[in-house]
């Protein structure tokens, strides 16, 4: 990498655990780049698709029917309108990985999701964090942030956990929520979102 001494903090998180809030606070406190939507935006430019179309794929595998249609549409005797096919899971993972590596090589940054801990596992100054919380805490945050009912929040969380676990395993061969994969694993409901920021900053000081 061009600048292997740059500090990069990767945050993998359960939906509703406060990952974006913690990541933004860390980036502000450390005065470093915050990379979340930036990754999707760059990937969308690469594939020449709308950013909102890739945002809907965030850390999710293509469904069976999406994969089937994509494969069938690529047959030689089938006409395909330009730029209508979604990138495959592998293509999207590869492109987002290249973007993450490029960001880490250019500057210090906080990188949210997208298998960042795995992608930057060989970076010499990377700190990987996994944020989790109990279901009640997460459900309450999702209800407030997205103005959802309790029932809807429960379904959103269950779907998100399943999709992220499947995506991470398919992309890396590893278990998404395995604490052994990360330098720090923090329960945001027990510690508090703001104090998790302090925990991570203290860890950076302790590690030297």
What are the angstrom distances between the C-alpha of 65 and each of 70, 131, 170, 171? 8, 32, 17, 19
Q: Report d(CA 176, CA 42) in Å as an integer.
A: 24
Query: How would you class 141 by CB atoms within 10 Å of its CB: exposed for 0-12, middle for 13-18, buried for 19 or more?
Result: buried
According to the model, what pLDDT value does residue 79 have?
A: 39
The answer to whether the beta carbons of residues 94 and 114 sit under 8 Å apart is no
**8-207 CATH fold:** Rossmann fold (3.40.50)
Pull the structure tokens for residue 199. Answer: 């925990």
The answer to whether the beta carbons of residues 100 and 111 sit under 8 Å apart is yes
Ranges of the chain whose pLDDT falls below 70? 1-4, 40, 47-86, 208
Residue-wise pLDDT tens digits, 13-59: 999 999 999 999 999 999 999 998 777 677 777 766 656 655 655 65
């Amino acid at each position: 990498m061009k600048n292997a001494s740059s500090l990069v903090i990767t945050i993998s998180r359960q939906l509703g655990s406060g990952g974006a809030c913690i990541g933004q606070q860390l980036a502000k406190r450390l005065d470093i780049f915050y990379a979340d939507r930036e990754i999707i935006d760059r990937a969308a430019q690469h594939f020449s698709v709308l950013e909102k179309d890739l945002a809907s794929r965030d850390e999710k595998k293509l469904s069976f029917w999406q994969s089937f249609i994509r494969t069938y549409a690529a047959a030689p005797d089938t006409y395909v309108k330009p730029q209508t096919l979604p990138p495959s899971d592998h293509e999207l993972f590869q492109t987002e990985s290249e973007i993450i590596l490029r960001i880490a090589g250019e500057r210090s940054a906080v990188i949210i999701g997208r298998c960042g801990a795995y992608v930057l596992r060989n970076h010499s100054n990377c700190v990987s964090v996994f944020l989790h919380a109990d279901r009640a805490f997460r459900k309450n945050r999702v209800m407030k942030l997205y103005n959802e009912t309790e029932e809807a929040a429960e379904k959103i969380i269950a779907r998100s956990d399943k999709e992220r676990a499947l995506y991470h395993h398919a992309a890396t061969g590893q278990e998404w929520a395995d604490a052994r994969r990360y330098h720090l694993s923090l329960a945001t409901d027990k510690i508090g979102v703001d104090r998790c920021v302090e925990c991570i900053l203290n860890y950076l000081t302790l590690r030297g």
